[in-house]
Structure 1
């Protein structure tokens, strides 16, 4: 009997030790989790000092209320939404409206009063020349301000990579570029099968003026380099693209020898009627072979960005592989 009581007491003691140890482990785990959460909170509030075109700027590691006029493409590609969107009057980047619709507009030159009213946490300028309506110091007094270099601004891939570094989203930027390259590779194979070595050109009609995409202008660079589409001799012989895009005379446009032409213009554009009544344009190979394709969404054709160029690839592939 005494032995039975001893065994019972021993068993209860073992159970008590086990329960106490379990509770201690839970307390330790809870303490570690709380410590980890606190560390993550501290990390999210850490500031980083970055070197940019105007010197150095200190920004939060997770900036909020970002104001980045004309940089919305890389911003949206990385899963961010600006506090306001670039505009000229009522004109905005139409192709990004699924992501930006309803956001307030801010004038393209970022007036200081409008900037203050948006209460930004971070201001991004695409280049030093984009500082049109105030000095760097004036914007810096409103919020931390980062200015892209002209080199990064002129190369959409570098611009996206740099945006990833600013926002601490380098992996997302790498993935966006990898996805784009995969899309381009697939489209290249489809286009090679559908049109072979036939040549393609982009022409933009705005008002009564016409603009031809040189081989490095906006989506044309993607068309010829990434998709491997043949350039017409007309495009090859154009002067090197300048920063200012100059219109081309209708008589010169009549020399266009492309097999396929993407004519980028909104419905009702005056230039469309001019081309319709132009004998020199009507005698070009693409028109005679009914291979001119009017594109009515001009905004993504005339900007550089991973989203814009992805849409261009989709449109070109959809049109030429039917």
Structure 2
């Protein structure tokens, strides 16, 4: 009898021990709801798993591509938003691009994603980090939208989704190059942006320039090559006199100033691509001025439409 009692007691103790181990594991899992990642400025950031209230000013393209919605979206002043994303973000309130502390607090974020080092000047990082975990995404001249997508995918534990987005985009580019082979091979193209009666040309390795020349395979006009050597931003101002010598087969025009006086100038109307009706116009609400997988996808689709 005594032996049975001892055995029974040992069995109960073993059960209690297993239960305790189970509770300890569960507690550990709760702690693992936070991952520590190192951002582009070497901050060690405690990232919550499955954040619910994200602010990612000017990075909304990436969130939407990864099936996430921010709690607030980028704007400049009144009404200047990324219109090409509004089928997914139409009900999302805006927050000014410079992320005022009071406004950030109001939205009670559980994660802040910052897209450029320059936006953190003046000790802003410490202030933001007091509000929510703040992660600086890869950025800089040599950082592509793919680099940023993969970095954000890592932060959100959606690396597989990021790879899927890139794969879908690559397939679209490949199909476009095949379908439009006779319209692309041996043809040169340029992207111009007109705003406030001034023209700006995209550099050959930035934004839509990288898409045209590196991915789709259009040839680079001489003027674009010259502009690109000194480019410090995606778009560089170019004079109408220079444009009159533009040797591009196609012009993709992002027109933010449809009433610009320059369009009435003979120099403009004598640009070869304009004379040959090979100018394709998009309004300032299109995706051509932005970066990200959705922006680039829409650019490729628009090229398909006008050149088919």
TM-score, normalisation: structure 1: 0.82
Give the corresponding residue for 2:9: none
- CA offsets, 1:194-217, max 9 Å, x none? 354221111110111110112123
Give the corresponding residue for 1:259: 249
What is the aligned length?
282
CA, structure 1 residues 178+44, in 2 after alignment: closer, same or farther (shift >3 Å)? farther
Give the corresponding residue for 1:279: 266
- Which of 50, 57, 62 is equivalent to 1:74? 62
- CA offsets, 1:85-137, max 9 Å, x none? 00011100011001100211000000000000000010110122122576211
- Which of 218, 237, 247 is equivalent to 1:247? 237
Q: Which moved more, 1:257-266 or 1:168-177?
A: 257-266
1:142 aligns with 2:147: no
CA, structure 1 residues 226+245, in 2 after alignment: closer, same or farther (shift >3 Å)? closer
CA, structure 1 residues 86+134, in 2 after alignment: closer, same or farther (shift >3 Å)? farther
Provide the C-alpha distance between the structure 1 equivalents of 2:130 and 2:207, rounded to a whole number of angstroms.
Answer: 34
Let me know the Cα RMSD of the aligned residues.
2.3
1:303 aligns with 2:293: no
- Which of 185, 188, 201 is equivalent to 2:190? 201
Provide the C-alpha distance between the structure 2 equivalents of 1:122 and 1:153, rounded to a whole number of angstroms.
Answer: 25
| 3-state secondary structure, aligned to 1:237 | helix
Provide the C-alpha distance between the structure 2 equivalents of 1:175 and 1:229, rounded to a whole number of angstroms.
Answer: 26
Provide the C-alpha distance between the structure 2 equivalents of 1:173 and 1:65, rounded to a whole number of angstroms.
Answer: 20
Structure 2 unaligned regions, length at least 5: 1-21
Give the corresponding residue for 1:46: 33
| 3-state secondary structure, aligned to 1:293 | strand
Displacement over 4 Å in runs of 4+: 41-45
- Which of 172, 175, 186 is equivalent to 1:183? 172
- CA offsets, 1:57-87, max 9 Å, x none? 1011111100000010111100000000000
Provide the C-alpha distance between the structure 1 equivalents of 2:50 and 2:208, rounded to a whole number of angstroms.
Answer: 32
- Greater C-alpha Rg: 1
Q: 1:81-120 alignment to 2 at 5 Å?
A: 81-89=69-77, 90-120=79-109
Structure 1 unaligned regions, length at least 5: 1-34
- Whether the 8 Å CA contact 1:203–1:212 is kept in 2: the answer is yes
Give the corresponding residue for 1:173: 162
